[in-house]
Structure 1
């Protein structure tokens, strides 16, 4: 991404409250708010226009994040329809300041974001089906540029579900390994937690005491991200988790301290490495 100047405005002075975000020389605008400030959000004129929105929250059973991607020709009216759903606690809306977004444009953007969420997100994607719309080549290119700015703003607004995964580095000293019963997973610390690289192995059986980790593994299996191969699982893609422990738990099928389970090629634990860096 190119360097950019981002303008944040805290409407009520709170960094987690109603706020707007813009990128210099860009026609788009983001408006974000917690669910507790929905009435103030819905009164804003920007929401009476076409746009797409993200509902984010936490799944009460697994503790994993949740995300829903939607679009509407009148965002305010559409958001009111989500009032009965309890999986979300914050909303982020994107609109165009020059009012040039059409129904086809926002459906295209929604479809791309759903695909990105299913590929990159650590959260549970609440959309039951994909979306999207076919656009003329020139329009699609224009929307890809618009989306790039949206993706630049989202982490600033607290949403990292669409961040591209790191490529596996070639230097072995940067890699960490989690081993169990002859199986090995390869990963690395990231700014958002911990990534396990494609091709890594995990045990087939859950531990009897596993509850949350079992559900997480089952979600990955349903998504086709964790595939059975003879007597073990294999990670079909790079997957980023919220912490080294969550990553190690999926590999080992039960509660695990990731700081000690992940070790470099010399056997030095992640905990020891980080202690030496401070």
Structure 2
């Protein structure tokens, strides 16, 4: 599937990278304001703070990433209530439209669908006391609001907010776990390149595919049963492994573990670290399926085949 590029405009309200931040997509009516809690007073005097919209509170409780998703016809008024009753959040996101065209039914739908998405992804603990329910709205409204959310979910990761980012992918591998003695056959995707990571000493056998820029470890891949990395510092990979265990992406059974779903990683090294249970150089660990060619060697071949850019005459 070919996707079109989009243009995202960021405006640092007070000229600071860690201050108030406005984010908007070209040709989209939505308006996103990222607010550090330390600047909540400055945010609440802005016009959009009185608009109808949804808001997301973000922070931690007992060391766990936590979020609250709400809707209101006056964001500022609702935030003032949360400021006195909830002490765990450190930043907030106000989601409105530039012309304040959202109504109560719109934001109730956006709240319910956003809560559903965040709960499904499982990256955060949701602090909502009750599960938001979708209102009865027309087909046209549903289509419009789903389109609105599609744009919102594109913007938020660019702001470092990933509670809606779904890294699970549709499975392209058979359900049974792979074995090192006999690799299970897989469904070949013509648009992807396939790699494998084998560590017979520990009984590890993982398969992955590079598809549309994503490095996807496939369902059934056998990995280390737990994180084995050394050192006192907790790494981002160790934290990710705990998240995958908690959300059921990786399932342990005795001395072994396997992926229960396809999962997209940001790099081959991140994928290799999770498979091996320690920091690993994925450029060397992953090999082109059925060969001894490393990912690094394969990548170098692709770059050699890339035409040199043609410079225009002055």
TM-score normalised per structure 1: 0.73
Name which one, 1 or 2, has greater alpha-carbon Rg.
Answer: 2
Deviations 1:23-82 (A, max 9, x none): 4443321112344433322221212233223445689969xxx46251231323444425
Contact 1:198 1:238 in 2 (8 A): yes
Structure 1: distance between partners of 2:152 and 2:62: 28
Which stretch shows the higher mean deviation, 53-62 or 253-262?
53-62
Structure 2 alignment gaps of length 5 or more: 173-187, 305-314
Structure 2: distance between partners of 1:173 and 1:53: 38
Structure 2: distance between partners of 1:219 and 1:141: 32
Contact 1:109 1:132 in 2 (8 A): no
Structure 1: distance between partners of 2:10 and 2:239: 38
Structure 1: distance between partners of 2:17 and 2:273: 33
Corresponding position of 2:177: none
* Residues 36/259 of structure 1: CA separation in 2 closer, same or farther (3 Å cut): farther
Q: What is the CA distance between 1:84 and its match in structure 2?
A: 1.8
CA RMSD of aligned residues (A): 3.9
Structure 2: distance between partners of 1:209 and 1:84: 35
Structure 2: distance between partners of 1:184 and 1:240: 17
Secondary structure of the structure 2 residue equivalent to 1:92? strand
Structure 2: distance between partners of 1:262 and 1:61: 33
Q: Which has the higher contact order (CA 8 A, sep 6+)?
A: 1
Secondary structure of the structure 1 residue equivalent to 2:219? coil
Deviations 1:208-263 (A, max 9, x none): 85866666444323322223467633322232345444332322233433333222
Superposition pairs for residues 40-59 of structure 1, below 5 Å?
A: 40-56=42-58
Structure 1 alignment gaps of length 5 or more: none
Q: What is the CA distance between 1:127 and its match in structure 2?
A: 0.9
